[in-house]
Every structure is written in structure tokens, then in C-alpha cells.
């Protein structure tokens, strides 16, 4: 029986029945190989990887990869069985062999792609992946692999050696450089970014040119994806990060302190020298008690050494309500648990403007999370705005409709109290408030 089967399958046997039987057996063997690999071998591999104590093998030997490998077996059977199925039909045999070869190359590329991305998912589980993302390198490798695959496919279809196409590609290099300009720029930029550690996944970057302000969620060979704070996604060409400027807030996150630089505008007309009653009242403030005593002793020594006549306020040195308030704010921040004491902390005056005297708080919060940082700022300035009147100071605020309404009401009341008068007899109604 076996010898008869070999005679029927012999490519030299011209019997039509033998050729039909060979064709049926080849396709049956291809189907059987697929079922064997997909049902038995792949199922056994899945059971094995699920029982191991490792997790990376589940990612590497995934369902998609096993299905791709299962499709390779029938393609191999058809590739090497075409000579037995079509020995007397050269054109059909060549067509089947080339088609199966192209299918093998495509399935091989699909398997390599699956392995590459599975390897990236495994690599991303390690902390080093945040500073050294592998996606750009993997994309470069896959581009080279795809280029080799395309050359092999074309050489298979036209039945020419692959080396002949490489010489043709060298002649078309100028065209390829023009067509793949963005890819090449992205390749160079990705290496620069990786080598200089400019951007990592998870960094908060700000790039107004592209309306990007948020966390980096993906770095690829050609682009960087940023998830903005409004949950939108901005895609930035990766070479733009090298060619243009952007802000990376990683240093702030790693330092553990987020800067507070906000000013309160003080009305210049409320700034004055401290009276003895004000000084005694300020002395009762716990954090200012030692400051008041030390400052008074310092001023007294200075004025006595200089022979100052302190009957006039402008002579010598005196305490002011703005200076005392500045000292209070600094001591308040020194005692606040949410402010970093090991970083710069100061309360400074900026140049006066038409909106008053800016008194700026420059410090660093101990929590860099956005919500907590804003809550800390609000807590600090809630207190400062509420305590400013205790020092005889006023916060500058531009007049509103309510202020003009009060001014108009006061003017109307003054005019009504004088009765009828001539056009030049307006009494106090025409004078600015506060003037007698």
C-alpha cells in the first residue's frame, strides 16, 4: 500500500489520478498542520505559560503571536509541496511557490512585529523605561526589518536576486531622503532626546507653540503625545522638541517643591509709620513679639548713636506698618507645615506701579501635586488677605460699579443738603472725597 502511494505521489508519474491525489493530499496536509499547531501545540503553550510564576511569558507568547505561528505551517507545506501537486504545470507550480513564499515573509514580519511590541510592554514595566523609552529604537528596527521584507517580497515576485535591488535603492537614495525626510528627522531627534534625557514618559511639559501643556504619555519615532490638563491629546513632531524650545517641569517634580510666586498689591496711601499704640498691638502677635523687641532696640541704638531728634517722624529710623507686615508674612511662612523650609523663602517688595506696591511671596510648597499646590496657595493668601487690615494696610483694587455708585450717592446727598443753588455754588458736592 505504501509503495503504491509513493508511486502515485511521484512527480514523474503523469497519471491524472495520481496528480489529483497528490493535490488533495498536499492541501489536506496543510489544513492538518494548521489544526495541529493551532489546536494542540498553541493550546499546550498557553497552558504552560499560564502555570508559570512569571508574567512576562504571558505577554510574549500571546494569542496573536500563536495564531501567526499557526498560519506559518500550512504556508510551509504549500511552499514545498507545490512540486508534488503541479509537476507538469510549471506556471501554476511557480505561482503557488512564490505566493507561499510571500505569505511566509509577511507572516514572519507579523511575528517579529508582535514580538517587538510585546518586548516593549515587558520593558515598560521596569523603572528605567521612563528615562529610556524603547519605542523609538523599536520603530527604527522595524523600519529596517520591513525594508528587508519588502526587498525579499519583490525579489521573490520578479525572481531576481535581492542584491540587485540594493544597488537600485542606492541610486534612488536622494528620492528616498526626500520622501522619508520626517522619518529621518524624527530618528535623529529621538536619539538626541534619549541621549540628553530631555523628555521622559510621565514628564509634564509645556509647549505653547503646539498648545501642549500636560503629561507625556507616548514617545515614538516621529511624534510625542501629550495629554493636556483638559484631557485632550496634542501630538508634537519629535524633531520640534529639538528645534524649538519647551518647558519640562521634571526638575520641579523631582525636587519635591513647587514654586509659589504671587504678589498682593498694597494701596500706597495706607503705608505709614507705626505709632506707639500700633507697636504695642503688634507686640501682642505671638510670632512678632521677638521681632518687635529686637527691631525697637536696633532702631533706638541707631538713632542715639546718630544723635537723631525723634520728635519729627522723618528724622532717623522708624518702624512702618508695611515692614512689620512683611516680617509677619515671613514668620508665618516659616511656621507653615506646607512650605519647604530648605528652599528659598522670602517676602519681597517689587517696584511700585499704578496699582500700588506689589508685596510678593516667593517660596516653595512641599506638595507638587496640582490640586494640593493650589489649595496650599489659597490657604496662605486667604490668611494674608484677611490679616492685612490688622496692620493698617489696604489691598489695592480698581474701582468697580459699586464704588462709583457709592460716590454718586454721596454726591447726590451733598447736593440735596444745600438746597437750590446757582451753577457756581455747588458746595462740597464738587470736591473730591476726603478733601475739606
Averages of pLDDT over each 10 residues, the chain, 436 residues = 52 58 76 78 75 74 79 83 68 80 89 86 77 71 82 81 64 62 73 78 90 90 88 90 88 86 95 93 92 92 83 84 96 95 95 94 92 94 96 90 76 58 39 35
Instruction: With respect to residue 267, please indicate whether it lies within any of the assigned structural domains.
Output: yes
The backbone torsions φ and ψ at residue 107, rounded to the nearest 5 degrees and listed phi first, read -65, -35
User: How many domains is the chain partitioned into structurally?
Assistant: 2
Instruction: With respect to residue 212, please indicate whether it lies within any of the assigned structural domains.
Output: no
Per-residue pLDDT at 9: 54
Residue 381 contacts by C-beta under 8 Å, 6 or more apart in sequence?
262, 264, 361
Per-residue pLDDT at 219: 84
- 3-state SS, 267-296, equals CHHHCCECCHHHHHHHHCCHHHHHHHHHHH
Its sign, for the CA torsion 114, 127, 249, 371, is: positive
Instruction: With respect to residue 188, please indicate whether it lies within any of the assigned structural domains.
Output: no
Last residue of a domain, one of 370, 391, 412: 391
Last residue of a domain, one of 125, 157, 178: 125
Per-residue pLDDT at 98: 86
Rounded CA gap, 222 and 187, in Å? 7
Instruction: With respect to residue 154, please indicate whether it lies within any of the assigned structural domains.
Output: no
Instruction: With respect to residue 249, please indicate whether it lies within any of the assigned structural domains.
Output: no
CA 223 vs CA 115, 238, 362: distances in Å:
22, 4, 37
Rounded CA gap, 11 and 26, in Å? 13
Structure pTM?
0.55
What does DSSP say about strands 357-365 and 233-237: parallel, antiparallel, or unpaired?
A: unpaired
Nearest CA among 144, 115, 129 for reference residue 218 = 129
Per-residue pLDDT at 174: 60
Instruction: With respect to residue 57, please indicate whether it lies within any of the assigned structural domains.
Output: yes
Q: What is the dihedral of CA 127, 130, 133, 135, to 10 degrees?
A: 90
Instruction: With respect to residue 322, please indicate whether it lies within any of the assigned structural domains.
Output: yes
> Can you count the helices (H) and strands (E) in the chain?
18, 8
Instruction: With respect to residue 133, please indicate whether it lies within any of the assigned structural domains.
Output: no
Nearest CA among 77, 157, 63, 79 for reference residue 111 = 63
Range of the domain at 323: 258-391
Per-residue pLDDT at 254: 80
Per-residue pLDDT at 233: 94
Residue 77 contacts by C-beta under 8 Å, 6 or more apart in sequence?
26, 29, 30, 33
Last residue of a domain, one of 100, 125, 150: 125
Amino acid at each position: 500500500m505504501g509503495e503504491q502511494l509513493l508511486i502515485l505521489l511521484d512527480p514523474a508519474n503523469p497519471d491524472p489520478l495520481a496528480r489529483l491525489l497528490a493535490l488533495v493530499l498536499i492541501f489536506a496536509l496543510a489544513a492538518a498542520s494548521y489544526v495541529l499547531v493551532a489546536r494542540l501545540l498553541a493550546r499546550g503553550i498557553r497552558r504552560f505559560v499560564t502555570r508559570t510564576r512569571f508574567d512576562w511569558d504571558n505577554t510574549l507568547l500571546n494569542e496573536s503571536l500563536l495564531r501567526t505561528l499557526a498560519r506559518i505551517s500550512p504556508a510551509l507545506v504549500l511552499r514545498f509541496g507545490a512540486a508534488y501537486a503541479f509537476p507538469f504545470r510549471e506556471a501554476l507550480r511557480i505561482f503557488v511557490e512564490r505566493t507561499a513564499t510571500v505569505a511566509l515573509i509577511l507572516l514572519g514580519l507579523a511575528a517579529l512585529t508582535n514580538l517587538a511590541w510585546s518586548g516593549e510592554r515587558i520593558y515598560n514595566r521596569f523603572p528605567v523605561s521612563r528615562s529610556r523609552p524603547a519605542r523609538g529604537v523599536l520603530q527604527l528596527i522595524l523600519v529596517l526589518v520591513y525594508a528587508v521584507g519588502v526587498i525579499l517580497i519583490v525579489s521573490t515576485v520578479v525572481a531576481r536576486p535581492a542584491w540587485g535591488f540594493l544597488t537600485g535603492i542606492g541610486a534612488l537614495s536622494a528620492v528616498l531622503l526626500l520622501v522619508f525626510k520626517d522619518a529621518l528627522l524624527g530618528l535623529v531627534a529621538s536619539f538626541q532626546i534619549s541621549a540628553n534625557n530631555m523628555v521622559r514618559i510621565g514628564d509634564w511639559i509645556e509647549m505653547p507653540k503646539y498648545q501642549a501643556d500636560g503629561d507625556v504619555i507616548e514617545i515614538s519615532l516621529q511624534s510625542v503625545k501629550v495629554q493636556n490638563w483638559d484631557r485632550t491629546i496634542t501630538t508634537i513632531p519629535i524633531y520640534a522638541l529639538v528645534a524649538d524650545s519647551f518647558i519640562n517641569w521634571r526638575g520641579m517634580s523631582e525636587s519635591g517643591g513647587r514654586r509659589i510666586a504671587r504678589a498682593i498689591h498694597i494701596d500706597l496711601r495706607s503705608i505709614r509709620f507705626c505709632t506707639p499704640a500700633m507697636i504695642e498691638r503688634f507686640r501682642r502677635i505671638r510670632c512678632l513679639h521677638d521681632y518687635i523687641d529686637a527691631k525697637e532696640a536696633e532702631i533706638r541704638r541707631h538713632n542715639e548713636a546718630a544723635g537723631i531728634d525723634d520728635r519729627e517722624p522723618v528724622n532717623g529710623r522708624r518702624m512702618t506698618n508695611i515692614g512689620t507686615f512683611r516680617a509677619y508674612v515671613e514668620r508665618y511662612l516659616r511656621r507653615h507645615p506646607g512650605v519647604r523650609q530648605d528652599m528659598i523663602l522670602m517676602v519681597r517688595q517689587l517696584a511700585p506701579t499704578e496699582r500700588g506696591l506689589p508685596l510678593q511671596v516667593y517660596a516653595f510648597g512641599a506638595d507638587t501635586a496640582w490640586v494640593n499646590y493650589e489649595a496650599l496657595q489659597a490657604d496662605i493668601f486667604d490668611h494674608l488677605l484677611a490679616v492685612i487690615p490688622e496692620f493698617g494696610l489696604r489691598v489695592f483694587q480698581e474701582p468697580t460699579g459699586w464704588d462709583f455708585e457709592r460716590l454718586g450717592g454721596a454726591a447726590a446727598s451733598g447736593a440735596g443738603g444745600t438746597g437750590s443753588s446757582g451753577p457756581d455754588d455747588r458746595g462740597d458736592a464738587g470736591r473730591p472725597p476726603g478733601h475739606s
